Structure 1
């Protein structure tokens, strides 16, 4: 680097406090303009993952059956409209966003990819890249893989740097939250292809998942992510669909075992990364613990049905998807599962509250509130 370039860098760094002061003042005004009376604690949220976090990206994808942009989905969403969320209303990411002062999850990337959104281009609000059916591995799911989602984020980051400068963009991104909710589809795929369970082979599969997950996390870190909100894999063997495959109607223990193994390895991975990557901080929200608690103590938590889905068909309403012609329960707020694989609005609301402000049982090594409000 030549002397002139080095001088430019020094000058840029010297003026950083002034730039940051201006940026934060401007951001505060924009937050009030966008969020009204809500008080935002971070500039933006960036969401990656599968159908547990998808808010409509799959509406724009061809060649995938993983869609939810039709009734009965959205029956409890504002204006009772289906949005592409696999829920009767909001999903867990929506509630996390609400707790952080946002209206709900940021918009799906594919809905704004060809539009100019000045808030997003200035690192405000954020974007949701999650896609139903996707997984950690590129071989899982559809064309909007985790790798593709991160590539899409790179385009957003490029636009932000164009509008704010690289130094300011990195600062804003370092204060934003990167939420990742994925892994279950990889496990369903593995389970469907391996009828005879082999402990060694299962461990190799988990090792591959964790290695690939690490690559994704480091890629985001290299593009400016510093605060990671990880949602672990729930007890997927207890969803209505797996139960419908079990002659006893019970949970499929192999699937839950895969989830537990992955969650344990992911916890170790996050600790190691935060120890080696400068300024990286994280919280792991345990959907596994939350769902397990609801199943164990339904009445105490306001639920009455934790086996069958509210909407669907066949055994436990878990053999076929929630479609306009499917049976749909009337007490939606008393059901844990909305459809064959996904939680209801009520369950997601409980999960969002527990992960955002709950105890170490539900979010560790600190909860999401502590993560986003923590000073560097």
Structure 2
């Protein structure tokens, strides 16, 4: 399952507030579309013939229904929490869900798929700006070398993988510069760079400051750091998920997702460039 770690390098969460694509004319009726990998998948892989699935317990153990939904989380993931912040009563449904029709299309849709860009059955590309997107949030990669899966495979004393950390350090600044150049070309701050490497590094390097007991050991898993294999009914499972920065070998816990989304909402320019989500919502409400 190391492909998840590689896929994270290419993980892009796109929040799209559309005015033209769906004929929406009021800011209050903004639609929200998501593209990316397992970090933001809300259940598309439930409908695909793939091994990258989160449709069995204990996934979803802290979700309101206490049932697995296809989210690679113990509860809410990042799109869920952003949906709540922008005032939606429900998160965008997976685009493969048979329930996604009619009025629900105005809410948006989630096109994310675990393993995107790595597995042949999940890779899709979109030209979002030309399709009408006018606000696009693009996340970089997190600290790839510090997830429990990499610690289990590469670490001797709990140190992060230097090779993967260098890859992230090379990728993220160039992504931000590319986004700023795109904004210059279109003449507007359409694209927003979310520095998820820094957002994750904050609680990975100082977990106690955020109420975590550890950022090295996953809540659900097996082997060193609970970082080997999938999270299953037979895995080690922590009794309090809020004390762990990582839910499984690759994915943050719901509480860690809340930390990330808090910075997306109100973070300074080093976290959100050129502006955070709250500023976007304020500006859009004035137009």
Q: TM > 0.5 between the two? A: yes
Q: 1:144 to 1:96 in 2, by over 3 A?
A: same
Cα deviation digits, residues 281-310 of structure 1 (max 9, x gap): 222222211111102222121111110100
Q: Cα deviations across residues 44-65 of structure 1 (Å, max 9, x unaligned)?
A: 1010000011000000000x21
1:245 pairs, out of 141, 149, 153, with 153
Task: Give deviations 1:151-188, integer Å, cap 9, x for gaps.
Answer: xxxxxxxxxxxxxxxxxxxxxxxxxxxxxxxxxxxxxx
- CA–CA separation in structure 1 for the residues paired with 2:182 and 2:195: 19
Structure showing greater relative contact order (alpha-carbon pairs closer than 8 Å, 6 or more residues apart): 2
Q: Which has the larger Rg?
A: 1
Q: How many residues align?
A: 262
1:50 match: 37
Does structure 1 retain, via aligned residues, the 8 Å contact 2:219–2:226? Answer: yes
TM-score by length of 2: 0.86
Distance 1:305 1:90 in 2: 20
Which of 333, 337, 358 aligns to 2:246? It is: 337
Structure 2 portions without partners, runs of 5+: 1-22
How far apart are the structure 2 equivalents of 1:238 and 1:42?
Answer: 39
Instruction: Report 1:82-93 matches (<5 A).
Output: 82-93=68-79
Q: In structure 2, do the counterparts of structure 1 residues 302 and 129 end up closer, same or farther at CA, with 3 Å as the change threshold? A: same
Q: Which residue of 1 aligns with 2:123?
A: 145
The answer as to whether partners of 2:245 and 2:256 remain within 8 angstroms in 1 is yes
Aligned match of 2:113 = 131
Structure 2: distance between partners of 1:328 and 1:349 = 21
Q: CA RMSD in A?
A: 1.9
Give the SS at the match of 1:127. strand
Q: How does 1:1-376 map to 2 (within 5 A)?
A: 24=25, 41=28, 43-62=30-49, 64-112=50-98, 116-120=101-105, 124-135=106-117, 140-147=118-125, 150=126, 219-248=127-156, 249-375=158-284
Q: In the aligned structure 2, how far is the partner of 1:42 from the partner of 1:269?
A: 29
* 1:242 Cα offset (Å): 0.6
TM-score (normalizing by structure 1): 0.66
- Measured in 2, the distance between the counterparts of 1:318 and 1:42 equals 42
- Structure 1 residue 66: deviation in Å? 0.8
Q: Which has the higher helix share?
A: 1
Runs of 4+ aligned structure 1 residues displaced above 3 Å come to: none
Moved more, 279-288 or 237-246: 279-288
Paired residues of 1:42 and 1:100 also in contact (CA < 8 A): no
User: Structure 1 residues 44-53 or 277-286, which shifts more?
Assistant: 277-286
